Amino acid sequence: MLNNAAEFIKNRIGNFKPEIGIILGSGLGELADEYCKLAIPYSEIPGFETSSVSGHKSRLVFAEINQKNVVMMQGRFHFYEGYSAQKVVFPVKVMKKLGVETLIVTNAAGGVNPDFKPADLMVITDHINLMGTNPLIGANDNDTGVRFPDMSEVYTKEYVKLVQKIGDKLGISLQKGVYIAFTGPSYETPAEVRMARVLGADAVGMSTVPEAITARWAGMKVIGISCICNSAAGISDAGLSHNEVIKAAGEAKEKFKKLVKEIIKEL
Ligand code: HPA
């Protein structure tokens, strides 16, 4: 199935060779609209599912940004949609087959760190997997990665520094911290958010961890960026809604795009 998907895409893109992959999170899909050279709806690709969450389109977008060939997922698959963790990471494996060496994973997240404000961007330094599953469960493809992959540096340290440097240069203040993933789709309770903080998390979300684990396993460099869309439950008095998340992502999207474009340039 993986080879079918890769062959299908290669036939469509011809001699275009993506070197950078980007997964665009909720409300952050505009970068793909802006640069789209060729788009393939997920529904046409063997083995792909279709993302059903509002704020997500469902297509793979190929583009040249700052002289680099990029493939973007405009919309991702979530575990909470009922897809297995293995299905969720299928596109990452396909990207690897297409030659992608660096993956930029983005998401909308709740701020667990009380210093974070809505529309802040956070560079992910590490993650905590509380999804209760792992995308690498099952037979291991030894040609791509080892059975027990090292996760001591999922998010390439050198690139964390690079992203911070770029933030400074562009005058975009960036937070830095640990992302914790729950399955969702319900938001966390205040007690769960307090637990997340005790465990060392700065932001909480429902994605990214499966894709990052898979990319690291496959030997890719990984950069993670969270758009902090709300204070996580109990951090402020307000309740949470998906509309609020999309609204904050909208507020952050210009600086997000600026940052990602510059990261692509510097990679
Ligand atoms: N929790 C989990 N996922 C999220 C949140 C949150 O508060 N905000 C945006 N995605």
User: pLDDT by residue (tens digit) across 157-212?
Assistant: 999 999 999 999 999 999 999 999 999 999 999 999 999 999 999 999 999 999 99
Report pLDDT for 55. Answer: 54
Kind of pairing between the strands at 203-205 and 102-111: antiparallel
Report pLDDT for 56. Answer: 61
Res. 54: pLDDT tops 80: no
Q: What is the pTM for the complete model shown?
A: 0.96
**By the 8 A CB rule, do 105 and 215 touch?**
yes
The DSSP H or E segment spanning 214 is: helix 209-217
User: pLDDT by residue (tens digit) across 108-167?
Assistant: 999 999 999 999 999 999 999 999 999 999 999 999 999 999 999 999 999 999 999 999
Q: Whose CA is nearest to atom 6 of ligand 1?
A: 110
Residues 6+ positions from 94 with CB-CB distance below 8 Å: 2, 5, 6, 9, 45, 47
Active site residues: 26, 56, 78, 80-81, 108, 206-207, 230, 242
Cα(216) to centroid(ligand 1), Å: 24
Task: Tell me the C-alpha distance between 89 and 97, whole Å.
Answer: 13
Can you list the domains of the chain with their CATH numbers?
Answer: 2-266 (3.40.50.1580)
User: pLDDT by residue (tens digit) across 55-82?
Assistant: 567 899 999 999 999 999 999 999 999 9
Q: Tokens for 104, please give them.
A: 């930029």
**By the 8 A CB rule, do 231 and 7 touch?**
no
List of E strands, the chain: 20-24, 38-41, 59-65, 68-74, 102-111, 120-129, 174-181, 203-205, 221-231
